[in-house]
Chain A
Amino acid sequence: MSKQITMDIEEIINKTNEFLIDEFEVEEDDISPEANLKETLELDSLDYIDLVVSVESNFNVKLDAEDFENTVTLQDFYDLIYRKLK
């Protein structure tokens, strides 16, 4: 069952970028679909928990460690949230 049927990929990208800038202090200029998620956010292994919590509070979807296995770029990350919302 869809959790947020009305949210399209553009909205997901905008909302995601918003919390990346706001909560993870990512520079707006550093955000692009090809950007490496781990490097752009300067994530270490523990920092993924912050990302999981942010996604949960912004989109009401739960992510697990396995979800990040093939998530390399920001585009992968947007797609991951999109898939989870479906």
Chain B
Amino acid sequence: MKEKIKKTKYALVTGGSRGIGSAICQQLAKDLNYKLLINYKGNKEAAENTLQKVIEAGGQGELLQFDVANAEQVNTVLDNWHELNKNSIIEVVVNNAGITKDNLFMWMKNEDWKSVIDTSLNGFFNVTNKLIKNLLVNRYGRIINMVSVSGLKGTPGQTNYSAAKGAVIAATKALAQEVAKRKITVNAVAPGFIVSDMTNGLDEKELKKMIPINRFGKAEEVAHLVSFLASEKSSYITGEVININGGIYS
């Protein structure tokens, strides 16, 4: 038998420059022995800021610029990265990149439907499909899909976002069964209202009345859950959707 070369292990976080994505990068750096690949689409400054925090947390990492919605770009960037990092494996994939383009369905424009589906749903496909072969050969891996309470219960004004997240939840369950035999787990994390850029425009004072825990969640709280799912400790959990929403929905 050929001797196995020990590979450098990486965790990729898409949309890792800000909000929940940034918190996840920092938590993974603190908790686990992975180098971070911080994906960002356009905000390099925020991505560099996250990288700095990763380093301060004792981790290592690098930035990877691509738009998850652009399959060609994903392929090119990841192919180049693999070419330069032949003895490395992206063992943890956190599909976090997502956008919202909210509107009542009757006013929703075709491009707002399409762009949300392209990023939140097709982005999951573009990145995960590209990396799954290596994970199967590696016979170990963690795929964590950031979804939303919107994908479970549906949120008015977010038909596009709810549809995309609901589809990713279904894909999570299907893929989990396909790859479980190779010790690859696939789970989804469904946050409720979390303090971030995405919830910036919302009236927290009013909305928190609906939340049993009576506050918005923190990005760090979501990051702790993701870090657990990315670890070996979560080996027997797969195909699950884990709510983190202060009790607003279960």
Tell me the complex Cα distance, A23–B1, Å: 6
List B contacts of A46 (CB < 8 A).
136, 178-179, 181-182
B133:A53 contact, CB within 8 angstroms: yes
Assess whether B205 is interfacial by the CB under 8 Å rule.
Answer: no
Assess whether A67 is interfacial by the CB under 8 Å rule.
Answer: no
Residue in chain A with minimal CB distance to B179:
A46
Assess whether B5 is interfacial by the CB under 8 Å rule.
Answer: no
A50:B137 contact, CB within 8 angstroms: yes
Assess whether B209 is interfacial by the CB under 8 Å rule.
Answer: no
Assess whether A49 is interfacial by the CB under 8 Å rule.
Answer: yes
Assess whether B2 is interfacial by the CB under 8 Å rule.
Answer: yes
Tell me the complex Cα distance, A50–B136, Å: 8
Task: Report how many residues on chain B are interfacial, defined by Cβ distance under 8 Å.
Answer: 9
Task: Report how many residues on chain A are interfacial, defined by Cβ distance under 8 Å.
Answer: 9
Min CB distance, B158 to chain A, in Å? Answer: 36
Assess whether A66 is interfacial by the CB under 8 Å rule.
Answer: no
List B contacts of A22 (CB < 8 A).
1-2
Residue in chain B with minimal CB distance to A50:
B137
B1:A53 contact, CB within 8 angstroms: no
Min CB distance, A60 to chain B, in Å? Answer: 14
Tell me the complex Cα distance, A22–B136, Å: 19
Tell me the complex Cα distance, A50–B179, Å: 14
User: A-facing mask of B170-211, CB < 8 A → 1, else 0?
Assistant: 000000001101100000000000000000000000000000
User: B-facing mask of A20-32, CB < 8 A → 1, else 0?
Assistant: 0011010000000
List B contacts of A23 (CB < 8 A).
1-2
Residue in chain B with minimal CB distance to A44:
B181
Most B CB contacts (10 A, CB to CB) among A25, A46, A52, A53 go to: A46
Tell me the complex Cα distance, A53–B89, Å: 15
List B contacts of A44 (CB < 8 A).
181
Tell me the complex Cα distance, A22–B2, Å: 7
A49:B133 contact, CB within 8 angstroms: yes
Tell me the complex Cα distance, A74–B137, Å: 22
Interface residues, chain A, CB within 8 Å of chain B?
A: 22-23, 25, 44, 46, 49-50, 52-53
Q: With contacts A23-B2, A49-B137, A52-B133 known, what are 16 further pairs, Cβ within 8 A? A: A22-B1, A22-B2, A23-B1, A25-B1, A44-B181, A46-B136, A46-B178, A46-B179, A46-B181, A46-B182, A49-B133, A49-B136, A50-B136, A50-B137, A53-B133, A53-B137
